[in-house]
Chains A and B, each alone.
Chain A
Amino acid sequence: MPFPKLPLDRWIEQIVNWLMENLTILFDLISNLVEPTVGFFEMLLTLAPPVITAVVIGFLALLASRLSVALFTLFGLLLIQNLQLWTQATSTISLVLTASLISVIVGVPLGIWVARSKGMKNIITPVLDFMQTMPAFVYLIPAVFFFELGAVPGVIASVIFAMPPTIRLTNLGIRQVDQDLIEAADAFGSTSAQKLFKVQLPLAKSTMMAGVNQTIMLSLSMVVIASMIGAGGLGAVVLEGISRLEVGQGFEGGLAIVIIAIVLDRITQSLGKKSEKTS
């Protein structure tokens, strides 16, 4: 007698249903936090005319990095404006920033916890593996159930997909701190918190920044996919191009995403390097 198929799919559906019915308050709360955050970033980016915003961001890039990056930022953003994709680009950037912000706010403390507790590490590591290897699309479905269509499920799916590197590299950065230094901190009578804030975190900073960089890149890629559930932005442009078989439009949207990716990557990378230099 063949063993019947496990009704795993139905179990999951039941769990999701149960969550939907019983945790509505929690999901509403999350929605009420995420939506205004996305709105806030969008407001910031659309406050001034696009050209001025591009110049301001270019200037920020100059402060964080070098001239070449700043010039690339400026001309890249101006190109996006020229392609009439500015509105979509601002919403994509807002989604990315929101998702990254949440990932860092949640991921860094989790990473610290993992670094300090072996039990926590044993629990979190497989969860992180699961989060990263599960095809990103799969998160979209429950996200829609919980948060309906729009920006919020897109951000939540991005957070789930993009948070692992921040947790992993925070953990790694703290664990990498030379054992001698930990011993010295202990020998002078540091409390756990003093050791964490005065020794471990400052020394882990550049590794943590590498994690944050990864998180931003991953959330950008997820935000594009999230256009499938109505998150809007440049992903929607690409999606439209695909469904209408308009190669040109798809390429324009794709190019804008690439520009944003490069700008975000270079700026966060040089922030990471800067913290390395001062350490």
Chain B
Amino acid sequence: MKKIEVENVTKIFGRSPAKGLELVRQGKSKEEILKETGMTVGVNRAQFSVEAGEVFVIMGLSGSGKSTLVRLLNRLIEPTEGSVWLDGEDVTEMNREELRRIRRTKMGMVFQRFALFPHKSVRENVEYGLEIQGVSKEERKQKALESLRLVGLNPYADSRPNQLSGGMQQRVGLARALANDPDILLMDEAFSALDPLIRKDMQDELMDLQSSMQKTIIFITHDLDEALRIGDRIALMKDGEIVQIGTPEEILTDPANAYVEKFVEDVNLTKILTAGSIMKRSEALVFGKEGPRVALKRMREQGTSTLMVVGRDRKFLGILAAEDAKAVVEEEKEMEDVLIKDVVRVEEETPVSELLPQMAENHFAYPAVVTDEEGKLRGVVVRGAIFAALAGNGNGVNTDAIS
């Protein structure tokens, strides 16, 4: 279900936006319009939709219009043109009253520099959204404490914001946005002012909260790693335009143009690529049904020296090496005894950065085995696949395997 649909939204800062709009329609660039008229194109005909429960990241460098774009959604900045549909209502057509209702009940916002009220206690800050709706003192106090508990700060309810560290202050900011129980969270560079370690904690915490709350989150950031970590989908902005929208993998492996390519080239692929995205589906030998001769034949056909062995329920049992299969045939050993069970086993979500050291530890002797949580075989990762994926900037990635 689409929660938000943004249609052709444009913002032009300057004296005669109508004229700027004309130039935008003629396809002139931000720079040309600035030179010609002195007006700044904040957002240029942005078009996207966000699903309910999705984490939608809007990413771009400073000046790319991302913070403007998020403010156009709740009209902290008035769009020059275009529509923002929220649950089937056009926010841009609303009068003040309706807009206030939307801001109070449907959209919570978290700010880069926290924007906590210094004259109010932490609890009063969290209560603010409820207070202005006229919620009774008792009820809003209770809701505020609940919200603070979510972010683990209820012991600090009576402190002043300036007594807390940056990370804690932003938790308060998050709690304040959550206290109204909005469907949508607008997070404007919410973690950018925090130091890297705290930032990572906050990202994890947000994802934890998100898994239980299922809010629709629109997250603004200039940090690609952050975008890739938390985004279900990412929109990349440049000069007020959205240049590409896609899942993290799509952005990385299939950049829409040279700009996106340049943006993502420094990304540490091992953190983004998962075992699932580089594994090969492998034909396995079903234990008890197929014998060592079948195994040898299959290895010959595939040109490999090992074969995965699974039970009838497709649960992974071990790896059978070619020489062991021969031994079973010639020396009449039991197949069970020669199966290699001490192998690297991971799940599809395991990032390559974790997979790589494990495989290096046993000198890449055998492929890594990818199983699901029940232990059923999903695929294998051979040494070559990792290096191909890393070296080829994603050429070796089988995008069809990405779920």
Chain A interface residues (CB < 8 Å from chain B): 178, 180-181, 183-191, 194, 198-199, 202-203, 278-279
Contacts and interface: CB of A to CB of B under 8 A. Distances in A.
A186 B76 contact: yes
A189 B115 contact: no
B119 A191 contact: no
Contacts of B180: 188
Contact of B111 (A183, A191, A198): A183
Given A189-B132, A191-B132, A198-B131, A279 B109 contact: no
Contact of B117 (A181, A189, A194): A181
Contact of A203 (B100, B107, B113, B118): B118
B315 interface: no
B76 A194 contact: no
Interface of B: 74, 76, 99-104, 107-109, 111, 113-119, 128-129, 131-133, 176, 180, 186
Contacts of B114: 180
B147 to A, nearest CB: 13
B103 A187 contact: yes
B140 to A, nearest CB: 13
A187 B107 contact: yes
B158 to A, nearest CB: 14
The secondary-structure label for the interface of chain A is helix
B109 A187 contact: yes
A189 B113 contact: no
Given A188-B128, A189-B129, A178 B103 contact: no
A180 B111 contact: yes
B104 A188 contact: yes
Nearest to B129: A188
| Residue among A189, A191, A203 having the largest count of chain B Cβ atoms under 10 Å | A189
B132 A190 contact: yes
Given A188-B128, A188-B132, A189-B104, A183 B119 contact: no
Q: Can you list the 8 inter-chain pairs with the closest CB atoms, starting with the nearest?
A: A189-B103, A189-B104, A184-B115, A180-B115, A187-B109, A279-B119, A189-B100, A188-B129
10 contacts: A181-B115, A183-B111, A184-B111, A184-B116, A186-B103, A187-B103, A188-B108, A188-B109, A189-B129, A279-B118
Contacts of A181: 115, 117
Nearest to B133: A189
Contacts of A187: 74, 76, 103, 107, 109, 186
A21 to B, nearest CB: 46
A121 B318 CA distance: 81
Contacts of A203: 117-119
B113 A180 contact: yes
